[in-house]
Amino acid sequence: MEIVRPQSHRNLFSSNDAVSVPSLPLYRSAPPLEVRLEDFESFAIDRLRVLKGISDGLSRGKKPEEMEKLVKELWKVNMRHQHASEVLNKDIISHFVLRLVYCRTEDLRKWFLSMECALFRYRFRFLTPEAQRAVMDNFDLTCRAVNNVEFESIKEKLGQVARSMGQPSPTVDAIFYKVPFEEVPELVAGRKVFISQGYAYVAMNQVVSLVATLFRSQLSKTLILTNRKWTSSIREQEKHRLTPIVEALSSSYLGPDFSQPREYAEISLKDIDQVAKSSFPLCMRHLFDKLKEDHHLKHGGRMQLGLFLKGVGLNLEDALAFWRAEFSKKVGLEKFEKDYSYNIRHNYGKEGKRTDYTPYSCQKIISSTPGAGDQHGCPYRHFSEENLRAALSRMGVNSRAMEDVMDKVRNRHYQLACTLTFEALHGMTCDAGINHPNQYFSDSQKILQPKKDSSAQNLVTARE
């Protein structure tokens, strides 16, 4: 890809993906195109709007059908071009620019990989069957279709799998692909495929998952290579031209991740009991209460609550004191120091590879899988109805709001349920919706303590 000055405006055409058929580029290699400097930046920003929109949608817990609509809309709005023939080039160029931007740290790579894969997945769904097969050809998949003889021998098992998912047994002309099970982790995890001797038999309607995994692993590898090239040569070579643009782009659009606690939300050890009652979301309140009750939490709970506390501003020293006070009641001081304090320091980036871990978002917590003895997870999702009702009424949710909340839960809108709880308890609407426990906390504190040292005078009026 050659970057040219604005004056010389020449567009070359020779990408290795056909322009006539609406297809999905696989971004395997940078195409021999010339790009104007201003397009370099603006194309990237447009694509970033799409990726950021996807990120937002996911963290709000949007369901697949809603995400599909969202992606379609985002792509239509942001990725068009006045010359129809340029649309594909914009797609490719913007991807490659963002690769440069997002290859530079592990966190950036992780985010970019997730969003590009989600984007790829949804766009793949919109393709015509021929276009889908073209993509599959690119990944050498069509040759792995199961032949008739093999199909006959496993037909019954394939039928069992289909029926276990509430689908009809496959007909004689159904196409299945035989791939190593490593390539379809999602399908394996959900027991949605028949597996035998290390191979998974993937149905046509599951191919998205397969293609997405292959795309992901391909992109993951290339990002590492791009990073090496960036560090070893590009960054220096482009010091005065592209590098400043690249560096500016990455910091612009990521939402707050609560890794830096806000000033007014800083809490100390003596405040915890009080703010737990007033400003913790249900998930954290439950963990907190269980910790006080049992003087213990399993690993998942320690992570979820511990990182949350870090996000609300509890410093390492206070965190150690907090956990020590509880755990030592059950396991004793010595064992706490030996077995548990290391992990707390680890969470604050003071041990091991010194990653400063970020508090979990609602999306992450909702998708966790608490097992026997665990107390973490999202109560709106993981609690039975009675247990949830009991927990909510302990928090002080009135019976009318309770019904609204339970209605949301039944329809699996867990974050909306949490938002309604927030609104019921604070007497205020929360328009943005809850998508992060630390957001719940800071929004709550904003209402309950509008200024650090003010009295309660300017508390907003109740909703009813």
Residue positions in the annotated binding site for [4Fe-4S] cluster?
Answer: 283, 362, 378, 418
Neighbours of 226 (CB within 10 A): 20
Backbone φ and ψ of 83, nearest 5°: -100, 115
Q: Which of 97, 115, 161, 212 binds another protein (CB under 8 A)?
A: 161
Q: Which of 22, 371, 396, 427 binds another protein (CB under 8 A)?
A: 371
- Which residue number, 266 or 294, has a Cβ lying nearer to another protein? 294
Neighbours of 423 (CB within 10 A): 18
Is 165 near another protein (CB under 8 A)? yes
CB 226 within 8 A of CB 404: no
Is 277 near another protein (CB under 8 A)? no
CA 256 to chain centre: 14
Is 152 near another protein (CB under 8 A)? no
Q: Which of 206, 227, 250, 304 binds another protein (CB under 8 A)?
A: 227
Helix axis angle, 385-395 relative to 414-426, nearest 10°?
30
Is 383 near another protein (CB under 8 A)? yes
Q: Which of 46, 91, 116, 374 binds another protein (CB under 8 A)?
A: 374
Q: Of the ranges 19-27, 197-205, 246-254, 425-433, which one interacts with another protein (CB under 8 A)?
A: 197-205
Size of the site for another protein (CB under 8 A): 46
Is 403 near another protein (CB under 8 A)? no
* CA pair distance 13, 251, nearest whole angstrom: 32
Q: Single out the residue of 308, 135, 146 nearest to residue 211, CA to CA.
A: 135
CB 2 within 8 A of CB 33: yes
Q: Which of 106, 236, 247, 403 binds another protein (CB under 8 A)?
A: 106
Is 353 near another protein (CB under 8 A)? yes
Is 64 near another protein (CB under 8 A)? no
Shortest distance, position 354 Cβ to another protein, whole Å: 8
Is 431 near another protein (CB under 8 A)? no
Name which of residues 85 to 104 contact another protein (CB under 8 A): 104
Backbone φ and ψ of 134, nearest 5°: -65, -40
Shortest distance, position 193 Cβ to another protein, whole Å: 9
Is 78 near another protein (CB under 8 A)? no
Is 195 near another protein (CB under 8 A)? yes
Q: Which of 172, 189, 456, 462 binds another protein (CB under 8 A)?
A: 189
- Which residue number, 11 or 411, has a Cβ lying nearer to another protein? 411
CA 280 to chain centre: 22
Is 186 near another protein (CB under 8 A)? yes
Q: Which of 143, 172, 372, 456 binds another protein (CB under 8 A)?
A: 372
- Which residue number, 188 or 459, has a Cβ lying nearer to another protein? 188
CA 317 to chain centre: 30
- Which residue number, 372 or 462, has a Cβ lying nearer to another protein? 372
Shortest distance, position 228 Cβ to another protein, whole Å: 9
Q: Which of 139, 194, 308, 322 binds another protein (CB under 8 A)?
A: 194
Residue ranges for the known binding site are: 283, 362, 378, 418
Q: Which of 7, 8, 82, 197 binds another protein (CB under 8 A)?
A: 197
Is 382 near another protein (CB under 8 A)? yes
* x/- map, 323-342, another protein, by CB under 8 A: -----------xx--x----
* CA pair distance 424, 72, nearest whole angstrom: 35
Rg (CA), the chain: 26
Q: Which residues bind another protein (CB under 8 A)?
A: 104-107, 157, 159-161, 163-166, 181-182, 185-186, 188-191, 194-199, 227, 299-300, 334-335, 338, 353-354, 369-375, 379, 382-384, 387
